[in-house]
Chain A
Amino acid sequence: MSENLTPSGEPSYLQYKGRYRGIFAWIFSTDHKRVGLLYLWSIMTFFIVGAILGLLMKMELISPGKNIMGPQTYNGFFTLHGIIMIFLIVIPGLPAVFGNFFLPIMIGARDVAFPRLNLTSWWLYMLGAVVVLTSQFTGGGPPDTGWTFYAPYSFQTPTNMLPAVTGAFILGFSSILTGLNFIVTIHRMRAPGMSWFKMPLFPWSLYATAWIQVIATPIVGVTLLMIIAERTLNIGFFNPALGGDPILYQHLFWIYSHPAVYIMILPAMGAISEIIPTFSRKTIFGYKAIIASTVAIAFVGYFVWGHHMFTSGMSGVALYTFSILTFLVAIPSAIKVFNWVSTMHKASINLQTPFYWAVSFIFVFMIGGFSGLVLGALSTNVHLHDTHFVVAHFHFIVFGGTGFAFFGAMHYWFPKVFGRQYDAGWANIGWLTFFIGFVTLYGPMFYLGIAGMPRRYYDYVEVFHGGNIISSFGAIILIAGAGIIIANLVKSAIYGEEAKQNPWGGITLEWQVPSPPPLENFDEIPHITKGPYDYS
């Protein structure tokens, strides 16, 4: 791609030659854009593994009885599927890939505040991943507790828990370091003139997320260490026989893991808040309201973890406190939806692939959010907890929310990242197939859950057969869609047409640098005078 020289004749970050050659030029590069791509490739690889595990589980569930695997294998599958999808994909997800790549560019900086720490985060991420995966091949066999590692089972199961828990611990460090890096970067490295309220919304969402990463992740770190201490040293934190309390484990786990769901969704909302104004060619509606709701979600999100434990035997006071707080957190989420929709109102919309992803994001996110309220109400929760309804809820909101936003961001920023344009026809076909597959796969799970089908079983009774057939076929369609999308993107990254500097007419800073950007992004650091979405 020798054509991609900046106006001052610098090579792009893809061609830049530093101290190392070949793969070392990537795995030892501290350039925030290369680190972002390292994460992209790692996450894509794990996603393919996780998706295949998911597909195999759906093939087991296509009809009652044992089809392709027995109960122990199935338990191992949903555990590994959950660990991969949550800890290796959606938690690092948008911040590690698009945050690393675009945060410095969008705030007019040459890199993040601590480039080496940034590379260290990726190395820790890979180390954690390897440690987690060794649990599959060594010791007592694949862990079977589910990604939540609930006590007391997690200190009783003969399966190989220690590597899984240690790996998750290491992954936590990677997440904390990324968060710390972003907080410092945003505080100290904004371009001259970029006051807090001139900062685009994706950096804002990364800022709120970074605080969650820094404050909440240590709690799960300590909790995982407590499991290790319990298993190896017999210290009674959670084991009643040793004077511990199993519900304490659930508290500690969800004190992290509920805020963690906001680590997943806030950057996704940030990316959507970039895509919608660009393709509506209009200022975002309620810029400050979106910021306020981002901060409010991050803050209130700390105090609702108990809604995962309504049936575990908490006190009544705790039950209704958590239920009320859970309902409160839905308000800022709704504010954002109203803002996005109002931005599109009377806009001259440019219907392109990223926009399709953004509107379908809003659709599935709303279904996920409303089902969250159904689960947040005490009476209905008792009926629905640990059924397929919960599985539907979090897939709609995590896969439908974070996943759709990830693909949307991918199609939005692809020309900037690779300097090439993808085939829009195939991208749209991929999106449509994926969307149809998604709704077919997870939609019936709402019904199955209400009808009483529990989660985390390899088998079910005959009455649930119909819904499961539809759902399993949905999985096949969805995988086909994902295949089309990934094949199209990979092919276009190599052979696609050259991309223009600003193919969508965006006005945030990343569209003002060449595609792909040069090593240090800007020849001259820009001076910011206007707000980020000023289309006037």
Chain B
Amino acid sequence: MDNNGKPHIVPYKNHIAVLAVLLILTALSVAVTSIELGPLTVTVALLLATAKALVVLIYFMHLKFDNIIYSIMVAFVMFSIISIIVITFLDYLFR
């Protein structure tokens, strides 16, 4: 297995776009707290956080350009964490 990711030098524009997306999503996650969503509060917060993490991973950390194996590994970790959270909520939602 060798490191045959695509060559990639990304322009500063991309970094600024990532920053902008992160700031907007942060503002959004603060804003939604004013809406009463009941048990969905945590879901929304987690979804927004996931979106932020994905933007960082894919664009800022260049997962997009790297060998597919790294994306598979990250996807597998994400899947595990999501399952863990879902199972935790089997407790909270049915108490």
Contacts and interface: CB of A to CB of B under 8 A. Distances in A.
Contact of B91 (A188, A251, A299): A251
Interface string B54-95: 000000000000000000000001001101100110111111
Contacts of B10: none
A321 B88 CA distance: 11
A318 interface: yes
A247 interface: yes
A302 B79 CA distance: 11
A255 B93 CA distance: 18
Contact of B94 (A187, A247, A299, A317): A317
Contact of A303 (B1, B83, B91, B92): B83
Contacts of B91: 247, 251, 306, 314-315, 317-318
B9 to A, nearest CB: 24
Nearest to A325: B87
| 3 closest A-B pairs by CB | A315-B94, A318-B91, A317-B94
A321 B1 contact: no
Contacts of A187: 1
A243 interface: no
A318 B94 contact: yes
Interface in A306-349: 306, 313-318, 321-322
A145 B83 CA distance: 30
Nearest to A218: B81
A306 B90 CA distance: 11
Decide if the interface of chain B is mainly helix, strand, loop or mixed: helix
Interface of B: 1, 77, 80-81, 83-84, 87-88, 90-95
A330 to B, nearest CB: 18
Given A187-B1, A215-B77, A315 B93 contact: yes
A315 B90 contact: yes
Contacts of A251: 88, 91
Interface string A204-241: 00000000000100000000000000000000000000
A317 B95 CA distance: 8
Interface string A163-190: 0000000000000000000000001100
Contacts of A313: 95
Contact of B84 (A302, A316, A321): A302
A497 to B, nearest CB: 43
Contacts of B95: 313-315
Contacts of B92: 315
B72 to A, nearest CB: 12
